[in-house]
């Protein structure tokens, strides 16, 4: 072979080798990335070529699929539908032909579309028998009654807010409500009407931000509900060992390194009050000094045991609650009563109540109980998992007795349920520059049955900008909602 031909042959060989390398790179290395790329329309077409599987609550689907009216270039055959969409949106999220998906609709998309690798055998069998590929189901832990009680309570109250209910023994999420909310069906398709509905729901069009999942993604100053964490830290670190021994709490109490007096709400008996009395009437001075005496390191360690400063995945991501790490002594005192930079999601505060109710054991919260194939064969079952031990059983029971006093004769009497022992803590959290805006109303609680079991722990937060400031309190606005949620769970067990 002469020299020019040899050069051409080598050049052609290099071209073929380059094509082979590129082809293998695309098919094997980049396959998953290209498959899930938002610009790959074939993925979207495949996703909506068959009805999606369902998200199940209490044995019944809260989602569905309907055939799209074919017009123009619309090649997406089915679109998502939702039953009681606004009530369940914080759980399901949305699946939209035009705007993608989020929350369970996104996280479990492989199961719902039938494309998950765990469905390979079932899909292969269906292909052999000539059946169309079908999506599987996502079975949730949610209680229909508890969710309705939470959502209706927030809606009837007005304003904005959220509620979360947990099963303390397992970590199952029984209710996850956020208000205001939205209907995912309104923008499930690709029409101009869907686009307009989506636009109206964005925060720049609606200041109430209805698409914000306040139960998981919003952090609020927890106010006096955080005093439960401070009490736990005092018990765990041996600062106090009894609910009924006097604390070392002078009145007035001046914040350390300052001349500022820490005020209580009204003329309440806080001087050297016992922890039980201090929690019952919500003494800022007692718990502020308690946090100062413990110091920021011990307070931070206890807060982290309850889940602060860490994101939770349920499997939807929940924002990390915050207990500040860099504080001077006066800020430590303020943080210990739920002020300064302390901030918590409603899920986080439900976890606090849940750990106390479960004798000090905090279970990992979750909302997916089981994944199923379309013929209901189980694919994966969630097993309860212990997250941490913020309290010993003995200290948890001391704290339970204190929280039960709050509901029996303190600030949380509106949460009382006949024949059931309820423990709780109210909170009215400062909001706005120099506390200029209406405060947030909080209530955390649990219910204990006559046999000693605790089927539910709840956290409720209400933010009502239109209410009279003097009428806002955790016991007045949030406790009645928590009561109805607890009653719904209790009634479902009968």
Helix or strand or coil: residue 68?
Answer: coil
Distance of CA 318 to the CA centre of its chain: 5
Distance of CA 365 to the CA centre of its chain: 9
Strands (E), 141-272: 160-166, 173-179, 253-254, 261-262
Name the phi and psi angles at 433, rounded to 5: -65, 125
End-to-end CA distance of the chain: give it in Å, rounded. 92
Measure the CA–CA gap between 224 and 429, rounded to whole angstroms: 7
Name the phi and psi angles at 65, rounded to 5: -140, 145
Measure the CA–CA gap between 143 and 162, rounded to whole angstroms: 16
Contact 104, 91 (CB under 8 A): yes
Contact 484, 153 (CB under 8 A): yes
Q: Characterize the bridge pairing of strands 253-254 and 173-179.
A: unpaired
Measure the CA–CA gap between 284 and 223, rounded to whole angstroms: 10
Contact 230, 290 (CB under 8 A): yes
SS (H, E, C) 138-151: EEECCCHHHHHHHH
Query: What percentage of the chain's residues is helix, strand, coil (to nearest 5)?
Result: 40, 20, 40
The burial of 295, by beta-carbon neighbours within 10 Å (0-12 exposed, 13-18 middle, 19 or more buried), is given as middle
| Listed residue (362, 350, 336) closest to 230, CA to CA | 336
Considering the candidates 65, 143, 224, 318, report the single residue annotated as catalytic. 224
Whether 106 is catalytic: no
Measure the CA–CA gap between 415 and 475, rounded to whole angstroms: 8
| Listed residue (447, 453, 398) closest to 421, CA to CA | 447
Measure the CA–CA gap between 205 and 213, rounded to whole angstroms: 17
Residue 122's H or E segment, with its range, is helix 120-128
CA dist 3 → 8, 9, 155, 476 (Å):
9, 10, 84, 94
Measure the CA–CA gap between 375 and 63, rounded to whole angstroms: 17
Instruction: Name the DSSP class of 25.
Output: I
Distance of CA 319 to the CA centre of its chain: 8
Catalytic positions: 224
């Amino acid at each position: 072979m002469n020299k020019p031909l040899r050069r051409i042959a080598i050049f052609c060989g290099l071209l073929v080798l380059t094509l082979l390398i590129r082809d293998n790179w695309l098919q094997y290395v980049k396959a998953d990335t290209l498959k899930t790329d938002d610009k790959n329309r074939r993925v979207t077409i495949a996703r909506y070529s068959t009805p999606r599987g369902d998200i199940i609550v209490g044995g019944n689907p809260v989602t569905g699929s309907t055939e799209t009216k074919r017009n123009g270039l619309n090649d997406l055959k089915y679109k998502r539908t939702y039953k009681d969409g606004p009530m369940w949106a914080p759980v399901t999220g949305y699946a939209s032909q035009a705007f993608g998906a989020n929350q369970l609709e996104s996280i479990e998309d492989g199961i719902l579309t039938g494309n998950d690798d765990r469905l390979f055998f079932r899909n292969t069998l269906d292909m052999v028998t000539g059946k169309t590929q079908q999506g599987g189901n996502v079975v949730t832990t949610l209680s229909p009654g508890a969710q309705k009680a939470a959502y209706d309570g927030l809606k009837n109250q007005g304003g904005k807010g959220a509620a979360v209910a947990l099963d303390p023994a397992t970590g199952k999420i029984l209710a996850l409500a956020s208000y205001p909310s939205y209907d995912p069906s309104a923008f499930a398709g690709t029409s101009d009407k869907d686009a307009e509905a989506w636009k109206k729901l964005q925060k720049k069009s609606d200041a109430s931000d209805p698409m914000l999942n306040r139960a998981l993604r919003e952090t609020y100053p927890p106010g006096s509900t955080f005093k439960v964490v401070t009490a736990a830290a005092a018990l765990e670190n041996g600062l106090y060992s009894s609910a009924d021994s006097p604390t070392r709490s002078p009145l007035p109490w001046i914040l350390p390194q300052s001349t500022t007096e820490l005020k209580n709400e009204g003329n309440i008996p806080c001087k050297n009050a016992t922890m039980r009395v201090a929690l019952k009437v919500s003494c800022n001075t007692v718990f502020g000094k308690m946090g100062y005496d413990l110091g920021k390191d011990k307070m931070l360690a206890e807060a982290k045991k309850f889940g602060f400063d860490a994101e939770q995945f349920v499997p939807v991501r929940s924002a990390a609650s915050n207990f500040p790490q860099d504080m001077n002594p006066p800020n430590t005192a303020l943080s210990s009563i739920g002020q300064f930079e302390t901030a918590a999601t409603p899920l986080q505060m439900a976890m606090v109540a849940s750990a106390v109710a479960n004798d000090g054991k905090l279970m990992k919260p979750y909302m997916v109980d089981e994944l199923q194939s379309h013929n209901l064969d189980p694919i994966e079952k969630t097993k309860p998992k212990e997250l941490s031990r913020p309290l010993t059983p003995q200290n948890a029971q001391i704290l339970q007795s204190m929280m039960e006093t709050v509901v029996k004769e303190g600030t949380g009497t509106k949460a009382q349920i006949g024949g059931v022992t309820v423990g709780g803590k109210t909170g009215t959290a400062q909001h706005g520059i120099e506390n200029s805006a209406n405060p947030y109303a909080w209530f955390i609680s649990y219910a204990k049955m006559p046999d000693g079991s605790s089927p539910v722990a709840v956290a409720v937060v209400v933010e009502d900008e239109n209410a009279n400031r003097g009428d806002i309190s955790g016991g007045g606005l949030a406790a009645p909602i928590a009561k109805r949620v607890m009653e719904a769970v209790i009634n479902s067990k009968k």
